């Protein structure tokens, strides 16, 4: 960035707060799971509540049928297909008077606006300016990479786990506590 600050961007494992919504089945993955799109999110595999014949999923995907989705723990990366809408049937012919739509205020004609976080891929962005950075969680914050993790809990406990843990100090290294146990 021009001002010398750094920007880190990554997609977290979960985004909370997603409620059931309409989506579309757009294909199947290699395991035969339905790939669904919703609220501008890229296609992702969805679990089903029960067995759905692969042929039915393929037919629905070829027609890009509408589906009702829920999300495990409100997570965008864990959609569950609740209902697969049937194939579109031809609409019955209605007299001309019934074809005209009722006049509604413009606000009622538009789709409801969703918060920007729900419209795009779940993403967390942090700008680092070199002064001080704070990341907060109300109960627990976990930083994980492969077999290594650092866990901070609201009760004040800190866990550092890894296959090998090395601590280096350029100057002094202190270990302080009410008691210190090694091994």
Domain count within the chain = 1
Contact 126, 7 (CB under 8 A): yes
pTM of the model: 0.41
- 54 touches 84 (CB < 8 A): no
Which element (helix H / strand E) includes 45? strand 44-48
What pLDDT shows up at residue 36? 92
Residue 60 forms part of a structural domain: yes
Asked if residue 56 is part of any domain, the answer here is yes
State the pLDDT at residue 40: 74
Please check whether residue 69 lies inside any domain of the structure: yes
3 state SS of 117: helix
| Predicted pLDDT at 27 | 93
User: Which pLDDT score is estimated for 35?
Assistant: 94
- Using CA of residue 146, residue 37, residue 82, residue 61, what is the dihedral sign? negative
What pLDDT was estimated at residue 122?
46
pLDDT at 73: 78
Which ranges of the chain would DSSP assign to H, the alpha helix? 54-62, 96-99, 106-109, 116-119
Q: How many Cβ atoms sit within 10 Å of the Cβ of residue 60?
A: 23
In a domain, 107, yes or no: no
Q: Is residue 44 part of a domain?
A: yes
Domain membership of residue 62 (yes or no) is yes
State the residue range of the domain holding 49: 21-83
pLDDT value at position 34? 92
Q: Residues 60, 1: contact at Cβ < 8 Å?
A: no
d(CA 124, CA 76): 14
Cα–Cα distance measured from residue 138 to residue 125, given in angstroms and rounded to the nearest whole number: 19
Separation CA 45–CA 170 (nearest Å): 48
State which residues of the chain have pLDDT below 50: 6-16, 88-92, 98-99, 104, 106-122
The CB density around residue 15, as the number of other CB atoms within 10 Å, is 20
């Amino acid at each position: 960035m021009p001002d010398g600050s750094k920007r880190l961007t990554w997609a977290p494992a979960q985004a909370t707060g997603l409620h059931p919504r309409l989506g579309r089945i757009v294909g199947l993955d290699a395991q035969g799971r339905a790939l669904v799109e919703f609220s501008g999110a890229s296609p992702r595999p969805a679990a089903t509540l029960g067995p759905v014949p692969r042929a039915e999923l393929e037919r629905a995907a070829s027609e890009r049928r509408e589906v009702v989705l829920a999300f495990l723990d409100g997570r965008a990366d864990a959609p569950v297909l609740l209902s697969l809408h049937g194939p579109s049937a031809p609409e019955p012919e209605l007299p001309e008077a019934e074809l005209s739509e009722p006049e509604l205020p413009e606000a009622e004609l538009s789709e409801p606006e969703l918060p920007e976080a729900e419209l795009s891929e779940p993403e967390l962005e942090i700008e680092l300016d070199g002064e001080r950075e704070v990341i907060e969680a109300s109960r627990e914050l976990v930083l994980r990479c492969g077999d290594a993790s650092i866990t901070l809990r609201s009760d004040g406990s800190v866990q550092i786990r890894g296959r090998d843990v090395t601590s280096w100090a350029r100057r002094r290294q202190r270990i302080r506590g009410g008691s210190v146990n090694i091994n």
